[in-house]
Amino acid sequence: MPTKDVLLVGLGAVGTIYAYILQCSKLARVTAVARSNYDVVNAKGMHIRSKKYGTQESWKPYRLVSSVAEAADRPYSYVVLTTKAIPEVIKTPRVLEPLLSRPYTESHPQPTYVLLQNGLGVERDLYHSIKVLNQGEPKIISTVVWIGTNLMERNVVSHTDFDRITIGMYRHGDHLTTTHSPEEYAILTDFGTMLEAGGSEVTIVTEIQRKKFAKTFWNVAFSSFSTLTGSSPTAMFRPPPKEGQSYSPYIAPQTATIVEKNTVPVLRAILQEMVTLGRALGYADDEDGLPSSLVDSTISRTAELHRNPAHTALPSMLLDAQNGLPIEVEVILGEVVRMAKEMGVDVPRIETLYALLAIIQNQTLGGFR
């Protein structure tokens, strides 16, 4: 395969790991946009501490720039967006504006955009902005990313031993077609091959929205609870330390029964609201759709992971709230509530979580701490 130019926007934790993966594939020349951390990365590089990829000191991509405008000097096969989707702060077309306006659109064809973003409906604004350019049907790859990574300092990234990504083509207004066109398959295979060659684990699916909906299961319940309580799910599932051990948080013996009989059932009811909405959207009760077993499996897998004393990663929504950064409330909770209203499905528990998290967002954006 020939080497292709790839633009990656957002050199945070997720962006750094995937820029590294793409560069390691030797199939991509990666231009990375480092916005808030450009100066330190340009001077010292990124320091990657990964259990999977090892320690990489002072790593840099093929080309480092400080803005999308600076990067808009050549055509790209793929533009990978790893910034968080927070449309009430800035919409995706605004982030990518130099690629969606003249003189770029007069000189270069539109690339395939790859959105490594949590949430639902994150593709919509970008789709409409590309559509009005009259360069054919927009090509957008949507994804579900499972990765354990945090930005420890502005140029220091920690990464666990896994990164898994599911990719599929975005089809505007269509979440039920489950077959690829030849063009869709070629695009997904090409990009997936890059990621696999770089060491990542890739799954290509014929319909991505149901996978994103299933990923949102976890965030709706556990990211919300963690952010509202200021504690990771370990507080609900990890047993107290034994003699000679020291860690926190954990579930106290005095409240263990209360949590088991009250908190966990509420989590289950929240996830059941998601299943009810999924059925209204047309997702069947099977592995290719939205299995009802996802309720129990989401809770059991989370409990198993967070019982481990070695598990220290925090949900990104909680981490953002603790650092006074905007949270992904609209694309996760808000979008689910809007979808439910459109489908006539009652989701009172999710509406409550949305209302409470909207206040946290308000305090952050209003400068109140």
User: In sequence order, which residues have a C-beta less than 8 Å from that of residue 284 and are 6 or more positions away?
Assistant: 290
- Distance separating alpha carbons of residues 197 and 22, to the nearest angstrom: 8
Contact 315, 229 (CB under 8 A): no
Q: What is the pTM of this model?
A: 0.93
Give the DSSP per-residue string, 271-315: HHHHHHHHHHTT--SSTTS--TTHHHHHHHHHHHHHH-TT--PPP
CA 304 to chain centre: 22
pLDDT in tens, 341-366: 999 999 999 999 999 999 999 999 99
Per-residue confidence (pLDDT) for residue 3, from 0 to 100: 96
Average pLDDT, the chain: 95
Per-residue confidence (pLDDT) for residue 11, from 0 to 100: 97
- Arithmetic mean of pLDDT, 130-135: 96
Percent of the chain clearing pLDDT 70 (strictly above): 99
Per-residue confidence (pLDDT) for residue 369, from 0 to 100: 55
- Distance separating alpha carbons of residues 191 and 168, to the nearest angstrom: 11
Pairing of the two strands 156-169 and 201-204:
parallel
- Distance separating alpha carbons of residues 289 and 261, to the nearest angstrom: 30
Judged on CB neighbours under 10 Å (0-12, 13-18, 19+), 44 is: middle
Per-residue confidence band for 148, with pLDDT thresholds at 50, 70 and 90: confident
Q: Is the pLDDT of residue 218 over 60?
A: yes
Contact 223, 315 (CB under 8 A): yes
Per-residue confidence band for 144, with pLDDT thresholds at 50, 70 and 90: very high
Tokens 């603790």 appear where?
322
Tokens 């902005």 appear where?
129
Percent of the chain clearing pLDDT 90 (strictly above): 90
- Arithmetic mean of pLDDT, 76-87: 97
Q: Is the pLDDT of residue 53 over 70?
A: yes
